Structure 1
């Protein structure tokens, strides 16, 4: 199947049975129409089970025979994770399916009956009638490596969120029982976690000597904090305003939190390492990491969001996927400002934006491009706008390295941007 708009429309012919499905957790709704959007049967239910999927296959076959259709196309929204079981079943049975944008469904609900009504049967009908007009996208074929990277990316995101939640709980505990602790330790490093495990409360520290605290940490086989920090920690513990009640349960709580943090951090490290190993099996990995300032973890996350960049015909496709396409709001004499659409994979957009700052700091070529857009004489961009422009340029470079199978050459990049180098010479 093709993703070109005209080709998408041409996929629905007179002999094509079109089925729209509204996805839910346990019970889906399906509606069958022809190429002109005429309903061929009543909306029916599909159970999220093997029996329900088998009955759905039989219903599709019956409709095709009844209405003399030789082809079928099925469309649905990618709702949460509930659609994946149905998609897997359709793929196993070689039944073609496409994905409908939820925004298109939401915006077109009232076109049928001019009412704000929302229910599962109506959603299935709306989805079915969007397909003949080409309002769908064809999911790309994913290799085993793509599946591993996508699953690993989801795991990594969940682990990061859980680590953030545990850090917040640790900070709450510190605020209650030892609020002066942050004057010595600023982050969640190994030294801080060691102290919180062994001597978390002020009463565990105020009467101890520096040598005694260091000895305890060494005997535990942990990395211990430096002596100057321990001296300051003892001084702060002697005048702490932390709560001293329920000390026994407070120690248990902080030890549990520290163990959770260490376990999650270890799991995140394992997932990162496995994703890098999987990404290395893709042909373009070595070319992408040749860019100074781009880490292996960043490349593995990027490929998890996009798949192999060799699957894209033009970098504009990746720019649109990331939501970096420019939009404007102009009418008549009014010329609105251009902004990015933010329609696409927000994880990909966040990843690219996060990668830009170290790239600008460590890569001279990208720093020159950023400086040009931020400080050019005519229409200089703000720092954030210049970073977005560099994000778009990074996508173009990544796609070029992947398709041409070349390592990054900063001189070649700047030669292609003659307006940047000429302005530098003038300056």
Structure 2
């Protein structure tokens, strides 16, 4: 099936009729501003400022009803920018009232702000009018709140990203601590987050403590945290290096307390990530086609949860190319006359969705035989650069995910990639 973005754009434009009242809302934290135009873009009525609470929403509803009555219109569409999380409550209230709610791209609002008055001025009242103009021209997308399972995935994956940043920050601080206090520990353990290194930092992190221990005491301490200890040679090496350490000998009590807090942060982040991993597994079991997608070699629960959390129900997409546009992985061209510009990715979409599509594709390139063969063919036969091949395979993976979700069939390499079979 051919997918054309222009067809979707035409449908959005045709949706706005002569009977429509088009309302643009500039979203803020506490107070919003609404402006209304006709289907031709003629400003109607006066601007409305209303609060982000139930009484404010009811005020907006009465304002809309007055305009519909005054201008003899019978349909209404309300659009807004997805500004942070401040638009959630208003959008849900509008949908509950049976009012069509849509979103406009903040980047396009910025680009179109000079259309009305040919000035770069910016205000809440002007932004609301610009948003209304964009809606009547078809530059909007419907608000679709996903089923609970997909919303849970989005929340958990966003939380996972925050926890991962905290974990990385704690690990970096641990590396800094070791470089200052006990730099020789890197000669004992190449990876400072391995079980042996973490056990050492918990039990005897200071060289002055390690140098007083015997081999048996070091091994006995390691056994408290590991089923298999790091070995006799490493225990001897640890003691020997502690005796000739060049680490600092000042403010050791403060350094030890700092390390204790870093290890607590490290442990907390690890437990939270494990809890999120278990929750993701349970949620994916509630999505009908998710288990069949997980059977594909190279598709992990984390990457699939990230894609479903950002993209929502894949079976609702008309084509895999629509998923690519949602992620901003569609091709953008700049050319004029004889001049042919460079083809680039538009990156007008969800960055987290791009991230997980890329990760899934890279994992499949490394582990999935069919994707490996396609990548090898692109690089060796078509002479594509490796990154161009990866981006092309991202499109292949997106179309595969949407196709399998819509058909709810199991993965079949001979059907999905017949040229490689």
Distance 1:120 1:229, change over 3 A: farther
1:388 counterpart residue number:
391
1:318 counterpart residue number:
323
Out of 45, 49, 56, the position equivalent to 2:49 is 45
Aligned equivalents of 1:247 and 1:223: distance in 2?
A: 30
| CA deviations over 1:285-344 (Å, ceiling 9, x no partner) | 122112112122222222112222111121111121122211222222222332222221
Tell which deviates more after alignment, 262-271 or 335-344.
335-344
Structural mapping, 1:276-425, within 5 Å: 276-376=281-381, 378=382, 380-415=383-418, 417=419
Correspondence 1:174 to 2:178: yes
Structural mapping, 1:202-281, within 5 Å: 202-219=207-224, 224-281=229-286
Aligned equivalents of 2:90 and 2:169: distance in 1?
A: 33
Aligned equivalents of 1:222 and 1:49: distance in 2?
A: 57
Tell which deviates more after alignment, 248-257 or 163-172.
163-172
Pairwise CA distance, 1:19:
1.1
Correspondence 1:106 to 2:110: yes
Correspondence 1:159 to 2:163: yes
Aligned equivalents of 1:240 and 1:46: distance in 2?
A: 66
Out of 30, 35, 47, the position equivalent to 2:34 is 30
- 2:33 aligned counterpart, secondary structure: strand
8 Å CA contact 2:91–2:143 kept in 1: the answer is: no
8 Å CA contact 2:195–2:226 kept in 1: the answer is: no
Aligned equivalents of 2:333 and 2:16: distance in 1?
A: 33
Correspondence 1:12 to 2:16: yes
Aligned equivalents of 1:221 and 1:190: distance in 2?
A: 7
8 Å CA contact 1:100–1:135 kept in 2: the answer is: yes
| CA deviations over 1:84-119 (Å, ceiling 9, x no partner) | 122222233222210001111011111111111112
Aligned equivalents of 2:342 and 2:254: distance in 1?
A: 57
2:4 counterpart residue number:
none
Out of 66, 71, 88, the position equivalent to 1:67 is 71
Pairwise CA distance, 1:193:
2.0
Distance 1:42 1:373, change over 3 A: same
- 1:72 aligned counterpart, secondary structure: strand
Aligned equivalents of 1:99 and 1:412: distance in 2?
A: 37
Out of 79, 82, 93, the position equivalent to 2:83 is 79
| CA deviations over 1:374-408 (Å, ceiling 9, x no partner) | 111x5x11111111111111112222222222222
Aligned equivalents of 2:362 and 2:278: distance in 1?
A: 23
Pairwise CA distance, 1:163:
1.3
Aligned equivalents of 1:127 and 1:255: distance in 2?
A: 52
Output the aligned Cα RMSD.
2.1
Aligned equivalents of 1:113 and 1:223: distance in 2?
A: 73
Correspondence 1:191 to 2:203: no
The answer for unaligned runs of 5 or more in structure 2 is 1-6
TM-score, normalised to structure 1, is 0.91
- 1:282 aligned counterpart, secondary structure: coil
TM-score, normalised to structure 2, is 0.92
- 1:171 aligned counterpart, secondary structure: helix
Pairwise CA distance, 1:36:
1.4
Aligned equivalents of 1:120 and 1:5: distance in 2?
A: 27
8 Å CA contact 1:365–1:413 kept in 2: the answer is: no
Q: How many residues align?
A: 415
